[in-house]
Amino acid sequence: MSVFDSTIQGLDNSMDLRLMNQNVISSNIANADTPGYKSKKVEFEGALRQALAVDGNLPLEGNSPEHIVIQGNGPVTAAVADDTNGVESLDGNTVNRSEEMAKMVENQLLYDAAAEMLKKKLGMLKYSISEGGGNR
């Protein structure tokens, strides 16, 4: 049991992925008028599930100190790929501007939520470090 538990790690990974998503969405919006540009998307939910270890691949249980237990998941990798659902316009561009804007707002909110939760988690740690006497 570490001070920084898997929730903090999960939130950290989640924020990394959301940032990557933001970069990809910015790229799509900037290229909304570029002929032949294909809309990109982050293969996201799968990577996040893997990061939070809720993909059904449970970690190994170690009930003896001699067991080797693989801890953590390491850095999360998410693939950026062309969005195959895009409708091609006359110039070969597949960016849907309103969809990108909606995705960006959603992504931003979820990023903020993760940041807020991380803040609360660290606030709790701070509270226990100061033996409940701190200002938080």
Distance in Å, CB of 116 to other proteins, minimum: 8
Token pair, residue 63, equals 């009930």
Q: Of the ranges 44-52, 54-62, 64-72, 94-102, which one interacts with other proteins (CB under 8 A)? A: 94-102
Q: Counting contacts by CB under 8 A, is residue 25 touching other proteins? A: yes
The 8 Å CB, 24+ separation contacts for 54-57 are none
Which region holds residue 74: left if phi is over 0, alpha if psi is between -120 and 50, else beta?
Answer: left
b/e sequence 31-47, b meaning 16+ C-beta within 10 Å: beeeeebbbbbbebeeb
Cβ distance to other proteins smaller for residue 36 or 59: 36
Number of residues engaging other proteins in binding (CB under 8 A) = 34
Distance in Å, CB of 108 to other proteins, minimum: 5
Token pair, residue 132, equals 């409940």
Cβ distance to other proteins smaller for residue 53 or 118: 118
Q: Of the ranges 43-51, 53-61, 68-76, 113-121, which one interacts with other proteins (CB under 8 A)? A: 113-121
**Alpha carbon distances (Å) from 25 to 28, 35, 84:** 5, 17, 15
Chain residues that interact with other proteins, rule: CB under 8 A: 15, 18-20, 22-27, 29-35, 37, 40, 80, 97, 100-101, 104-105, 107-108, 111-112, 115-116, 118-119, 122
